[in-house]
Amino acid sequence: MKKRMFASLGLTVLLTGCGSQNLLPLEEKSTDLSDKNHDLKLENQELKNENHKKQKQLDALKKDSENTGQAKTNKKIADYLQISSKYYGSVTKTINDYQAIDSQIMKNKKNQDVMDQLDSVIEANDDAIDQYKESVNDLSIVKKDDNVKKQHKQVLKVQKDIKTALTEIKKGYAKKDLTSIQRGRQNLTNIQVKNDNLKQN
């Protein structure tokens, strides 16, 4: 019986000793895996931070690109406004030049000097619209921006109305037809310029 107990006790001690030896490498592996897991989590967080940083840079670049695009659009609108302003300055001069000879035209004497002056007014107006068209021909904004399109159509309408009025006056003066002269003068007086505000952002 003592032998059995001693054998049992010896076996237990032996198994316990073996068991602890087997657990030690497992604990080391577990610690090692835990460390690696921690390292991976840190690396993952660093990648997330880097990704977030890159996304912010990308967003900033997109915004810069949009701002650059808007700046270019604003520049094109400003170029168009300068051209249309020059045209409207020419329209004002045309009307003032006509006003200078209006009293002579109303005398309806078919004077050649007055006819030549009227021709000069008409030619100057034709030159103004030709210069306008040539200047806007290369501006893509005239076709792309709705407000610029409206303004462009308004310029063309004003030009057509002025041309019609001056042609009527000239025809009436050449024929000594006071009714045609009056109609042309009235058309010239009725010309309206709508100034649609072009917004630059």
Tens digit of each residue's pLDDT (9 = 90 or more) over 77-87: 999 999 999 99
Higher-confidence position of 140 and 59: 140
d(Cα 106, Cα 181) in Å, to the nearest integer? 8
**pLDDT attached to residue 31:** 75
Tens digit of each residue's pLDDT (9 = 90 or more) over 92-114: 999 999 999 999 999 999 999 99
Task: Work out the average pLDDT over 35-63.
Answer: 70
Q: What pLDDT band is residue 66 in, cutting at 50, 70 and 90?
A: confident
Task: Work out the average pLDDT over 37-63.
Answer: 70
**pLDDT attached to residue 198:** 54
Which range, of 14-23, 102-111, 183-192, averages the lowest pLDDT? 14-23
**pLDDT attached to residue 42:** 72
Task: Work out the average pLDDT over 182-194.
Answer: 88
Tens digit of each residue's pLDDT (9 = 90 or more) over 113-151: 999 999 999 999 999 999 999 999 989 899 999 999 999
194, pLDDT greater than 90? no
Q: What pLDDT band is residue 67 in, cutting at 50, 70 and 90?
A: confident
Q: Domain ranges in the chain? A: 82-189
